[in-house]
Amino acid sequence: MDFTTEAEYIAASKAAKEAIWIKNCIQELGVVPSIVEPVVIFCDNNGAIAQAKEPRSHHRFKHILRRYHLLREMVSRGDCRMDRVSSVENTMDPLTKPMSQIAHTQHLDKMGLSSMGDWLSIKWEIVRICDLEANGIGPHVI
């Protein structure tokens, strides 16, 4: 077991607790009649997924605080499910590791974000068109 597996397991445990709390809150507020599907936690670490699905503690995981092992109980009860997500599809990768500009841009598109440079160039074009129109020059001249 490596530190990455530990970190992913602990992060998945925290995410599952928060997601299930939100699910229960939504149900209590009556926003939806009921939510029967388990909360899906996506993880790109096979070791962390295997540990969450393992009913017994592995000797290499004994040093992890007991509160993080609640994840196992939530998975076994069916409150949540751990699914694998590949690095190619993992939208959070740009926030956690270096990658090529093409891959970074693709992930930003998936998140609905765009480069600040694009925004500035669009804003500059709008200002330029407005200035031309204010001086009596139509946008057709551009």
- The rounded distance, in Å, linking the Cα atoms of 122 and 74 is 48
Give CA–CA dist 94/103, Å, rounded. Answer: 8
Q: Are residues 126 and 96 in the same domain?
A: no
Say if residue 13 is in the same domain as residue 83: yes
First-residue to last-residue Cα distance in the chain: 62
Pair 79, 17 in one domain: yes
Contact between 35 and 27 under an 8 Å Cβ cutoff? The reply is yes
Based on C-alpha coordinates, what's the Rg of the chain? Answer: 23
Compute the C-alpha angle 7/11/69, nearest 5°. Answer: 90
Are 52 and 99 contained in the same domain? yes
Query: CB–CB of 83/40 below 8 Å?
Result: yes
Rounded to two decimals, the pTM is 0.63
Q: Based on the fold, state whether residues 107 and 119 are members of the same structural domain.
A: no
Domain shared by 41 and 104, yes or no: yes
Residue 31 gets which letter from DSSP? Answer: S
DSSP 43-79: ES-HHHHHHHH-SS--GGGTTS-GGGGHHHHHHHHTS
Q: Domain check: are 132 and 75 in the same one? A: no
Q: Are residues 106 and 137 in the same domain?
A: no
Query: For residue 131, what are the domain limits?
Result: 115-142
Q: Are residues 137 and 100 in the same domain?
A: no
Q: How many residues does the chain have?
A: 142
Structure tokens given for 4: 């990455």
Tens digits of residue pLDDT in 93-125: 777 778 888 887 887 788 777 666 655 556 566
What pLDDT, in 10s, does the model give residues 56-72?
655 555 556 556 667 88
pLDDT tens per residue across span 17-43: 999 999 989 888 888 777 888 999 998
